[in-house]
A and B are shown apart, each in its own frame.
Chain A
Amino acid sequence: MSAAEVAAALAGVAGQSSQSYGLWCVDVPAAAWQHTVQAARDDHGLSYLDWLSGVDELADGFSIVAHVVDPDTVLHVLLRTRVPRDEPRLPSVASVHSGASWHERETAEMYGVTFDGHPDPAPLLLPEEFEGHPLRKDFVLASRVVKAWPGMKEPGESDATASRGRRRIRAPGVPEPAEWGFEARGG
């Protein structure tokens, strides 16, 4: 069976398969996620879970992506599903692939996606008290707010002579101090 046929079989009726950069991808609804991963392992020999991660799709929610491989034939497909942004929940596939456990813990802390039925849902890399989900696109890097942007100065200006009143150019992706950080929280 070719990767295209495996992808089509895995997509079934609810999902769809497509080729992207030479790799066959299977998009399934979140309800069919666990079943698809299980079917890939049991029915198609894709028994090696290479990795599992997420993608922040902004208003479209989060994609959860898993790359599964047949270790004998090196046939591989990408399994994808989508969870809504306001309630990112997905059944855990740690019961199918034990190796998915750490990947799901990392995806959970980085994107704020809850994996239902995970055996040990503690954060993997971040400290317990960490606030926010660093790989979400709306997450602001603290170091970008703490440090002054060197590009804020206009030609002909230096730190000493910079005028305060004018509206200044802002670094892309960094919010105003009043919108984020200690000032915004009234600290």
Chain B
Amino acid sequence: MAEERRSTAKTALARGLALTLRTLVQRTGIRQYPDILPALPPRSRGVIALFEENCTVCMVCARECPDWCIYIDSHTETVLASTEGGRDRQRNVLDRFAIDFALCMYCGICVEMCPFDALFWSPEFEYSEYDLTELTHEKDRLREWMWTVPPPAAHDPLAEQPRL
């Protein structure tokens, strides 16, 4: 009985050491993150950027957001008629556009729904904060993210080419 147990222990020990040895010579998959940046896949969802110039304050993103994390304030301005006998026009001006990334679940519905291509995904992800309230990015910061948005992927060579 004791003899048997001893031999079992020996096999187990040998097997364990063999495993250790094998792991030792294996290449590791670990990347030392802050020193070596990860290779992000295309279309990664890091942060949402706002192309403010395109925003018409239609409120679609704020209404579609399932998390209620987009806050928009705006006011109406009158644009005086530029031609003789023309009519004055009303224009909405964006005062505040904020996304609370503490609430955001990165579903991308706002980016999908935006009818004027004012919201884009940026792969940037290094914006953690010590204070939760700091994760609400106001429109200046959202506009800054716009510089990090990658150009859209090239069309498939066999696809119908876009009309210019």
CA distance A157 to B93 in the complex (A): 10
Q: Which residue of B lies closest to A156 (CB)?
A: B76
A171: chain B residues at CB < 8 Å are 63, 68
Q: Are B62 and A150 in contact (CB under 8 A)?
A: yes
Q: Are B75 and A161 in contact (CB under 8 A)?
A: yes
The verdict on A149 contacting chain B, using a C-beta distance below 8 Å, is: yes
The verdict on B105 contacting chain A, using a C-beta distance below 8 Å, is: no
Q: Contacts A150-B71, A150-B72 hold; do A155 and B63 have CB atoms under 8 A apart?
A: no
Within 8 A of B (CB), among A145-187: 147, 149-151, 153-159, 161, 169, 171
Q: Would you call the interface of chain A mostly helix, strand, loop, or mixed?
A: loop
Total number of residue pairs linking A and B with CB closer than 8 Å: 47
B71: chain A residues at CB < 8 Å are 150
Q: Are A155 and B92 in contact (CB under 8 A)?
A: yes
Told that A144-B68, A158-B75 touch, could you supply 9 new A-B pairs with CB distance under 8 A?
A: A149-B68, A150-B62, A151-B59, A151-B64, A155-B58, A156-B75, A158-B74, A158-B95, A158-B96
A157: chain B residues at CB < 8 Å are 73-75
Q: Which residue of A lies closest to B68 (CB)?
A: A150
Seen from chain A, the residues whose Cβ lies within 8 Å of a Cβ on chain B are 144, 147, 149-151, 153-159, 161, 169, 171
Chain B 101-114 near chain A by CB (<8 Å), digits 1 or 0? 00000000000000
CA distance A178 to B156 in the complex (A): 54
Q: List 30 A-B contacts (CB under 8 A).
A: A147-B68, A150-B62, A150-B65, A150-B68, A150-B69, A150-B71, A151-B62, A151-B63, A151-B64, A151-B65, A153-B62, A153-B72, A153-B73, A153-B74, A154-B59, A155-B58, A155-B74, A155-B92, A156-B74, A156-B75, A156-B90, A156-B92, A157-B73, A157-B74, A158-B73, A158-B96, A159-B73, A169-B63, A171-B63, A171-B68
A153: chain B residues at CB < 8 Å are 59, 62, 72-74
Q: How far is the CB of A166 from chain B (nearest CB, A)?
A: 15
The verdict on B70 contacting chain A, using a C-beta distance below 8 Å, is: yes
Within 8 A of A (CB), among B33-80: 56-59, 62-65, 68-76
Q: Are A150 and B70 in contact (CB under 8 A)?
A: yes
Q: Contacts A150-B70, A150-B72, A161-B75 hold; do A156 and B65 have CB atoms under 8 A apart?
A: no
CA distance A171 to B76 in the complex (A): 23
A155: chain B residues at CB < 8 Å are 56-59, 74, 92
